[in-house]
Amino acid sequence: MRGIVALLLLALLGGGARADEVTRGRYLATVGDCIACHTAPGGAPFAGGRPIATPFGTLRSANITPDRASGIGGWSDAAFDRALRAGIAPGGKYLYPACPFPYFTRARGEDIAAIHAYLRSLAPVGNPVQTDALPFPFDIRALMRGWDAAFFRPGVWHDDPAQDAAWNRGGYLVEGLGHCGACHTAKNAFGADETRRALQGGLLQGWWAPGLTPAPRTGLAGWSIDGLVAYLRTGSGGGQLASGPMAEVVERSTSHLSDTDLRAMAVYLLARPARTEVAVRPAPTPLAGEAIYLDRCAACHGRAGEGTAGLFPALRGSAVVQAPRPQTLIRVVLEGGRAAATDAAPTGAAMPGFASLLDNDEIAAVLAYIRNSWGNASAPPRPAQVERMRGSPG
Amino acid sequence: MRPEALRRRDLLASSAMALVLAACAGPASLPPPAAEAAPFFTAEEAATIAAAVDRLIPPDAATPGGREAGCADFIDRQLAGPYGRSADLYMRPPFAEGIPQQGPQSPLTPARRYRQALAALATYCRNAYAGQEFAQLPPAEQDRILRGLEAGSLHLPGANGHAFFELLLANTMEGFFADPIYGGNRDMAGWRMVGFPGTRYDYRDYVALHNQPYPLPPVGLAGRPAWHQPA
Amino acid sequence: MTRRLAPTDAVIIGFGWTGMIMAEALTAAGLRVVAIERGPMRDTAQSFPPATAPDELRYAIRGDMLLPTAEETITFRNHLDQHALPVRKWGSFLPGSGVGGSGVHWNGHTWRLRPEDFALRSATIARYGRHFIPPDMTIQDWPVSYAELEPFYDGFEYLCGTSGQAGNLRGAIQPGGNPFEGPRARGYPTPPLTMPYGPTLFAEAAAGMGYHPFPLPTGNLSQPYTNPHGVVLGQCSYCGFCERFGCGNYAKASPQTTLLPVLTRRPALSLRTGCEVLRIVTDSTGKRATGVVYVDDKGEEWEQPAELVLLCAFMLDNVRLLLLSGIGAPYEPRAGTGVVGRNYAYQTVSAVQLFFEDKIFNPFIGAGGLGMVVDDFNGDSFDHGPAGFIGGAWLTQLASNGRPILARPTPPGTPRWGAAWKAATAHYYNRSLGLVASGSSSSHRGAFLDLDPGYTDRHGRPLMRMTFDFHPNDLRMSEYVTDRLAGIGRAMGPSRMAVFKRHAPYDIRPYQTTHVVGGAAMGAHPETSVVNRYLQSWDVSNLFVLGGSAFPQNSSYNPTGTIGALALWAASAITGHYLRAPGPLA
């Protein structure tokens, strides 16, 4: 439907871009999930203004509709390409890496051009956004020049001739426009990827994004290609359900991608070297935790943490449950969460928040239990960690 | 008893509001808060109710009675809340008597019925027992009065003693068997007496075990002692 | 002042089972739909998760899921010559409120009527003669046959994931199912639930007497299930908080667990909660609905114009809105004229309570539809001639719950309080079983709905007035089947047994069943029905009236399966025929 509108607009405007390039650009913009950050809650798509919390302050995303005054209507193809792949906008303005140009740099020039063609085909929306909203000294964008020098490695993706087409396509998407590592790779003190720990899991905005290497406890070791494809296409696969920020990624981006591309991403991720996990012995499970689990959790998640496909995530063997840091778990217990809803898997089941139903000791105890039962092993959370998460996620 | 949080008062009639469910499920809707701060009963009323619930459910060697189980506190909180005001009920006049099968037609809310009947009972007891209160009477006399109210043979001045008894009996049983968060069923005494496991939500492991005792202790909405045992 | 909103294609009044089925079908057909719901939004995780749902006082006693009588109630009397008084506290039946309607707090029983139920009048005359029908009875044939509805029963069962055992697959009788049911095209989507001890004992005793016990077909699912819309339901955990409660783990088929997730993804649908429809608006001819007027929760009035009006509220509200809107001729019982409010019917329920010394049942292990059933004394399975009544019942031991405020039976003669009560309660709570006979209810001239001349609701509109008592035929039927039920009970070997027969007068206080039906009956003739076989108003062809109000009398079975099937049937007629050529379909 949106495609049809875009095509009509294109015809009306008499733009120079070819229709198929716009269609391709729209797909690639979906891979990049541009709409997620560049749309304010309740706002016009791509018109920017969504607040994005970073460790350095809250940014607001730019208006990327072709409005000349407040959007990017005045940008040339070259300027657009430079912004996305070099992180430098017209006027020499350095972008913050909240816009994942360190990933987009790996995209091919014709793909970036197609995205630009698609964005130009949209209706311009006048929506001035103050994008420089970080507190001093991070408001000095020139500081980004040093950041770039230290952390930014520009350069397009190169296929590995030793690997097959699927692996290479998957790598191109995962490491490039898909920017999976933006969440799933740990960040250093400057907010840059710790490249040695690429895709081994990261903490962002109070959510732990689990590892995407085939590691047994904290990664994808138990996953099949089919399971991963189902997860990305529907939000439900491998006994898990996308929720939190990943629900949005599935709903807006991966559920709209082709099977071939999803399969390629799965092939690539499962073929990467597994994170070397420190051997963790299960901690003793508190009796209180077992009692609470039995009384409050088992009716949905199952006596053995097995869950129900498409409805309740399995806790047994879950990388989220065994995350090195328990923030996401604590947060979900406190606030609840809703699974992704897609056309293929519309259920979108939810868990209630337990903030007023369980106290800090009880939450710590039940999480210690689920993190160390049924073969799971990870450090028990402390009640003080739960207290810190109350009212101040992140 | 209808938590306001459930209402979507922000829904403008003119807005083309599609069905949007929050991405974060949000907190579970809680039971109505217990009206702990505002006791309904006077001290004298409370003493009468405490004595009465202990006759309706007398203590024995195996289980506590209504008093120790908190039935009087339960009733006190219920009367101080929306139930006591008949907040959800159709209370428009005229109030005609009707026939029994047409259901209760009294204009009295539960709170007013208790207040009226307890005053009348106090008067009755002072007159019949040389100035003594109901709570001071021997159990056999208390039982005699309760049986008289139940049968409709004992008339209270200016109150419907039978209707009061029926309400008191119903509320006492509610207090003995409702979740402990409402102030009664203290230590899940009522549930333990019958073997009801409370708010457990999963009996899949037990449904096919015929004629066998269920092994787990009861749990309330606020948990059970095992939730706080040390590791 | 009533403000006028932008027109829409269709407006749906009430967002429960039938409203959501219609919303799904109409938005799929490309229509813009506005749904107006009087009560609040209800969402599983927020409104009734496992952590707060199992609260007997809040839900079963205080009725937190129910329509507050302060918002709307009825007045009631047994007979025409009595003065009706308002039902100030629900008792005999429990209407729901909010998104999902009564489909949130139902038990889950998902029955089909038998083929002979659809031809009750003509089949009775054919087998027993015209004289067999008492003259004041207004029972009539349904204007639709079992065979016509079968695909839609199937559709509703597969929407819900109903758990059960087929008894008749395309004419072949199946072991373990109901041999008396009509032929079904395929089996139930999920197998029966696991039976606890009580239903197992009942089935053994019944089989020993030559009857044909089978598992009750139910929407409490025996295993996870994905319905044709891709919506996933969970496995029932036998928690025993089913009827009067929302299901916390997505294991009970409800509008929420089967359709709502799909409807949230339909941009053509707009839902307005907390908004109560005051009347259906018709044009100057009275033959065409132009929309509805409703009041929002701030007390402001709005007119929502629409091309098509779907009346999908609880059956009492359906009939009341027709009367308040002046659509159709109100029923006049003395003259026997008019149709709106005619053919109100209920069900005739009786029970037997058994007490044992040597067996324990764990009654808290339960589900709304967890039970074994005997259907040998129902429909046309037995000769009604010597028995001298029309109708029948299904008999069951239902392991629905052991919630102790209400479920703590003691043997007859036990005091209601004191030490003896306490000892008996402690002993028998876990040693007692209840058997139930759910019997049919005939429509008759003395049972009807009209507007009360005195009592009004919060908006100043007249309340619905219900006039009802059990017909002597139904009491004879109930007597007969209760004796059969007691026979099975005795065979189960209790130490004590109490039989609770149904007697007149009908009493509005004790709970019996929420299966109130009729008042806007479907039929073949406008003189004896309000809607045609497609649930389309005879008088206003762009108005359809869905739900239990369409039943011309009540069978013994829980009505939701038939209500769902009729909604799918009507939706199919609307999208398949009406939208192409709006006008009378019959």
Cβ contacts of B28 on chain A, cutoff 8 Å:
336, 352-354, 356-357
Confidence band of B9 (pLDDT split at 50, 70, 90): very low
8-state DSSP, A295: I
User: In one letter, which amino acid is A184?
Assistant: H
Residues 66-105 of B with CB under 8 A from C: 83, 86-92, 94, 96, 98-105
Q: Hey, are the CB atoms on A300 and C46 less than 8 Å from each other? A: no
Task: For chain C, say whether B119 makes contact (Cβ under 8 Å).
Answer: no
Q: Hey, are the CB atoms on A336 and B200 less than 8 Å from each other? A: no
Confidence band of B31 (pLDDT split at 50, 70, 90): low
Using beta carbons and an 8 Å cutoff, which residues of C are at the interface with A?
A: 43-46, 49-52, 224, 226, 229-235, 237, 239, 248-250, 261-262, 264-265
For residue C402, what are the CA distances in angstroms to B50, B67, B224, C513?
27, 24, 20, 18
Domain ranges of chain A: 2-151, 165-271, 287-389
Q: How far is B115 from chain C (nearest CA, A)?
A: 21
Residues 154-213 of B with CB under 8 A from C: 169, 172-174, 177-179, 182, 190-191, 193-204, 206-208, 210-213
Rg of chain A on CA atoms, in Å = 22
* Omega prior to B225 cis, within 30 of 0: no
Q: What is the CATH number of domain A287-389?
A: 1.10.760.10
Gap between the Cα atoms of B181 and B69, Å rounded:
12
For A311, the closest of C49, C52, C250 (CB atoms) is: C250
CATH of A165-271, one of 2.60.40, 1.10.760, 1.10.30, 1.10.150: 1.10.760
User: In one letter, which amino acid is B89?
Assistant: L
Cβ contacts of C250 on chain A, cutoff 8 Å:
311, 347, 349
Cβ neighbours around C386 below 10 Å, total: 6
Which residues, 6 or more positions from B98, have their beta carbon under 8 angstroms from its beta carbon? B105, C83, C85
Cβ contacts of C68 on chain B, cutoff 8 Å:
2, 88-89
Strand partners, B159: B156
Q: How far is A327 from chain C (nearest CA, A)?
A: 21
Q: Hey, are the CB atoms on C265 and A296 less than 8 Å from each other? A: no
pLDDT tens track for A86-96: 999 998 888 88
For C51, the closest of A343, A350, A352 (CB atoms) is: A352
Tell me the helices (H) and strands (E) count for chain C, helix number first: 14, 22
Output the pLDDT for position A232: 98
Q: Hey, are the CB atoms on A343 and C49 less than 8 Å from each other? A: no
Output the pLDDT for position A59: 85
pLDDT tens track for B108-128: 999 999 999 999 999 999 999
Identical fold, A165-271 and A287-389: yes
For C230, the closest of A308, A345, A352 (CB atoms) is: A345
Tokens of C335: 């003259």
Gap between the Cα atoms of B172 and A318, Å rounded:
47
Output the pLDDT for position A53: 80
Tokens of A223: 């996953």
Tokens of A42: 């309740």
pLDDT tens track for A212-270: 999 989 899 999 999 999 999 999 999 999 999 999 999 999 999 999 999 999 999 99
Gap between the Cα atoms of A207 and A203, Å rounded:
6
Whether B179 maps to a domain, the answer reads yes
Gap between the Cα atoms of C541 and C288, Å rounded:
7
Provide mean pLDDT across the span A303-319: 96
On the CB side of C121, CA atoms within 13 Å amount to 15
DSSP H or E run through C277:
strand C276-282
Cβ contacts of A349 on chain C, cutoff 8 Å:
44-45, 232, 250
**Chain B touching partners, 3 or more CB pairs below 8 A:** A, C
Strand partners, C309: C11, C543
Output the pLDDT for position C1: 83
Tokens of C170: 């395309």
Cβ contacts of B227 on chain A, cutoff 8 Å:
288, 291-292, 295, 362, 365
Poorest-pLDDT segment among A14-18, A159-163, C269-273: A14-18
Residue with tokens 């005619």: C342
Gap between the Cα atoms of C13 and C268, Å rounded:
16
Residue B22 in this model has a pLDDT that exceeds 50: no
Tokens of A244: 């939190």
Cβ contacts of C260 on chain B, cutoff 8 Å:
19
pLDDT tens track for B71-87: 999 999 999 999 999 99
Number of structural domains in chain B: 1
Q: How far is B22 from chain A (nearest CA, A)?
A: 8
On the CB side of C7, CA atoms within 13 Å amount to 9
8-state DSSP, C424: H
Phi-psi domain of A172 (left: phi exceeds 0; alpha: psi -120 through 50; beta: other):
alpha
Output the pLDDT for position B164: 98
- CA-closest candidate to residue C55, choices C369, C399, C401, C370: C401
B/e letters for C261-280, b = 16+ CB within 10 Å, e = fewer, are bbbbbbebbbbbbbbbbbbb
CATH of C2-578, one of 3.40.47.10, 3.50.50.60, 3.20.20.450, 3.30.2320.20: 3.50.50.60
For residue C429, what are the CA distances in angstroms to A143, B195, C6?
75, 8, 58
Can you say whether the dihedral through the CA atoms of C183, C187, C190, C196 is positive or negative?
Answer: positive
User: In one letter, which amino acid is B172?
Assistant: T
Which residues, 6 or more positions from C42, have their beta carbon under 8 angstroms from its beta carbon? B6, C48, C98, C99, C100, C104, C246, C256
* Helix axes A77-86 and A109-120, enclosed angle (nearest 10): 120
Q: Hey, are the CB atoms on C45 and A351 less than 8 Å from each other? A: yes
Q: How far is B222 from chain A (nearest CA, A)?
A: 7
Whether B161 maps to a domain, the answer reads yes
Gap between the Cα atoms of C57 and B173, Å rounded:
11
Strand partners, C434: C353
Residue A15 in this model has a pLDDT that exceeds 70: no
User: In one letter, which amino acid is A373?
Assistant: S
Phi, psi of C331 (to 5 degrees): -70, 135
**Chain C touching partners, 3 or more CB pairs below 8 A:** A, B
Q: Hey, are the CB atoms on C53 and B14 less than 8 Å from each other? A: no
Which residues, 6 or more positions from A25, have their beta carbon under 8 angstroms from its beta carbon? A113, A114, A115, A116, A117, A118, A119, A121
Q: Hey, are the CB atoms on B193 and C425 less than 8 Å from each other? A: yes
Confidence band of B30 (pLDDT split at 50, 70, 90): low
Task: Cite the active site residues of C.
Answer: 515
Gap between the Cα atoms of C313 and C292, Å rounded:
14
For residue C51, what are the CA distances in angstroms to A288, A325, A350, B108?
17, 26, 13, 35
Whether B144 maps to a domain, the answer reads yes
Cβ contacts of B25 on chain C, cutoff 8 Å:
43, 45-46
Output the pLDDT for position A139: 64
Q: How far is A307 from chain C (nearest CA, A)?
A: 10
Q: Are A338 and B21 in contact (CB under 8 A)?
A: yes
How does pLDDT run along chain C (586 residues), one tens digit per residue? Answer: 899 999 999 999 999 999 999 999 999 999 999 999 999 999 999 999 999 999 999 999 999 999 999 999 999 999 999 999 999 999 999 999 999 999 999 999 999 999 999 999 999 999 999 999 999 999 999 999 999 999 999 999 999 999 999 999 999 999 999 999 999 999 999 999 999 999 999 999 999 999 999 999 999 999 999 999 999 999 999 999 999 999 999 999 999 999 999 999 999 999 999 999 999 999 999 999 999 999 999 999 999 999 999 999 999 999 999 999 999 999 999 999 999 999 999 999 999 999 999 999 999 999 999 999 999 999 999 999 999 999 999 999 999 999 999 999 999 999 999 999 999 999 999 999 999 999 999 999 999 999 999 999 999 999 999 999 999 999 999 999 999 999 999 999 999 999 999 999 999 999 999 999 999 999 999 999 999 999 999 999 999 999 999 999 999 999 999 999 999 999 999 999 999 999 999 9
Provide mean pLDDT across the span B85-99: 96
Q: How far is C81 from chain B (nearest CA, A)?
A: 13
- CA-closest candidate to residue C37, choices B1, B23, B8: B8
Residue B38 in this model has a pLDDT that exceeds 80: no
Residue B15 in this model has a pLDDT that exceeds 90: no
B/e letters for B132-154, b = 16+ CB within 10 Å, e = fewer, are eebbebeeebbbebbbbbbeeeb
Whether B66 maps to a domain, the answer reads yes
Cβ contacts of C40 on chain B, cutoff 8 Å:
2, 6-8
Phi, psi of B134 (to 5 degrees): -55, -45
Q: How far is A270 from chain C (nearest CA, A)?
A: 28
Cβ contacts of C232 on chain A, cutoff 8 Å:
308-311, 345, 347, 349
Cβ-based contacts under 8 A for chains A and B:
84
- CA-closest candidate to residue C233, choices C241, C222, C224, C243: C224
Residue A9 in this model has a pLDDT that exceeds 60: no
Task: For chain B, say whether A291 makes contact (Cβ under 8 Å).
Answer: yes
C-chain residue closest to B206, CA distance: C365
Q: Hey, are the CB atoms on B1 and C85 less than 8 Å from each other? A: no
Cβ-based contacts under 8 A for chains B and C:
248
Output the pLDDT for position A195: 87
Strand partners, C551: none
Residue C70 buriedness (CB in 10 A; 0-12 / 13-18 / 19+) = middle
Q: Which residue in B202, B203, B204 has the most chain A C-beta atoms within 10 A of its own C-beta, making it the best mutation to test that interface?
A: B202
Domain of B147?
Answer: 43-87+109-194
Output the pLDDT for position A138: 62
Output the pLDDT for position A5: 45
Q: Which tops the pLDDT comparison, A149 or C414?
A: C414
